[in-house]
Structure 1
Amino acid sequence: MDDVEALIAGARARLTAAGAPREALGRWRSRRFVGIPLAPNVVPEGAAWHLGVLLIGPEDVFATGEIVRARPEVRRGFAAESQRRRADVAAAASRGGFADGQVVHLGWEGLDLAAVGRGEASGPLRQGTDGPEVRWSARGGWRPLAAYLDERIALLLDPPSGAT
């Protein structure tokens, strides 16, 4: 039976040794000018390796939330309100200082690895009968965390052609 903290530490070591790219973490910040509310922006909050439903930072592990690419605000017509909202979030990231096209993670949730080790669930992680498991999608099943990390690290280090 593998320990969840040891699996994550091993993944961090492999990603660091390989020089794997990290993606930006952002958080919402409201703004005011002379008491007048301005459009909120998204500001940098660190970086982490994106491994599917997990974001592995230098010290913490998070569940993935919303993912956008920063881009400047432009006037457009939208067929759906969800498109308008995503464009607003991307513009907020651009206003917050992220480069155009930079991937930004929002709404990520910190995971408690010690709780998983005690047999409790934390976000997409839980302790299964044969060791730590991860739920790779909201409707997906549980799979061993060790195999999931191996697969996701391999995809990050050597993505399929056309994936970037």
Structure 2
Amino acid sequence: MAEAIIPLLDAARRRLAHCPREALGELIQPRRLLGISRAPRIVRRGAAWHLGTVLLADDRMLLVGEIVRARPDVRRGYTAQSQRERAGLAAAAHRGGFAEGEIVHLGWQELDLDAAATGAASGPLRTVDGVPMIRWSTAGGYQPLERYLDDRIELALHAPDGTTDRP
């Protein structure tokens, strides 16, 4: 079903072969041990290239979720609960074995390429009049997937000075 989408993704993977990937992780809440709760950790579930609103892995395309950088757990005086939660996720990634500063993607969702090929939306992906299309934001319109991938791959291959090494 996804005959129009798969070749685009395969070509993108070939072009990105020498670009670094970012880690995919899953938050695990360990079982209690002798009635004592243990700290959550994030375990590695693969790697993918970050291309804007999507992640491209070897065998699938994913919708981006939350992104954290692993770092050790230290006491911080955050006033906002959301800052405390993000610091907790960063510490959980570090406990899970990610190197300090490593980027980890959480809460990603696999896109259904077959559904998108039939015209149904799968996250930001769908086919319109036989052309695979993608939306880069919920408020944005659709653009051809091929052009979107070209733009994002160019950013990955030729990042401007002073920017991160990822698109």
Name the TM-score class by shorter chain: over 0.9
1:90 aligns with 2:90: yes
Letter in 2 for 1:22: R
- TM-score by structure 2 length? 0.91
Which residue is equivalent to 2:74? 74
Aligned positions, number:
161
Flag structure 1 segments of 5+ consecutive residues without an equivalent: none
Give structure 1 regions of 4+ aligned residues with deviation exceeding 6 angstroms.
none
Task: Provide the rounded CA distance (Å) in 2 between the counterparts of 1:9 and 1:66.
Answer: 25
Task: Provide the rounded CA distance (Å) in 2 between the counterparts of 1:102 and 1:14.
Answer: 23
Give the RMSD, CA atoms, in angstroms: 1.4
Which residue is equivalent to 1:30? 29
Flag structure 2 segments of 5+ consecutive residues without an equivalent: none
Which residue is equivalent to 1:13? 14
Task: Provide the rounded CA distance (Å) in 1 between the counterparts of 2:104 and 2:78.
Answer: 22
After TM superposition, give the deviation of residue 27 of structure 1 in Å.
0.3
1:101 aligns with 2:98: no
Q: Which has the higher strand share?
A: 1
- TM-score by structure 1 length? 0.93
After TM superposition, give the deviation of residue 36 of structure 1 in Å.
2.6
Task: Provide the rounded CA distance (Å) in 1 between the counterparts of 2:14 and 2:28.
Answer: 32
Q: Percent identity?
A: 54
Task: Provide the rounded CA distance (Å) in 1 between the counterparts of 2:48 and 2:41.
Answer: 20
Any residues of structure 2 matched to 1:1-164 within 5 Å, and which?
3-16=4-17, 19-32=18-31, 33-129=33-129, 131-164=131-164
After TM superposition, give the deviation of residue 68 of structure 1 in Å.
0.5
The more displaced of 89-98 and 123-132 is 123-132
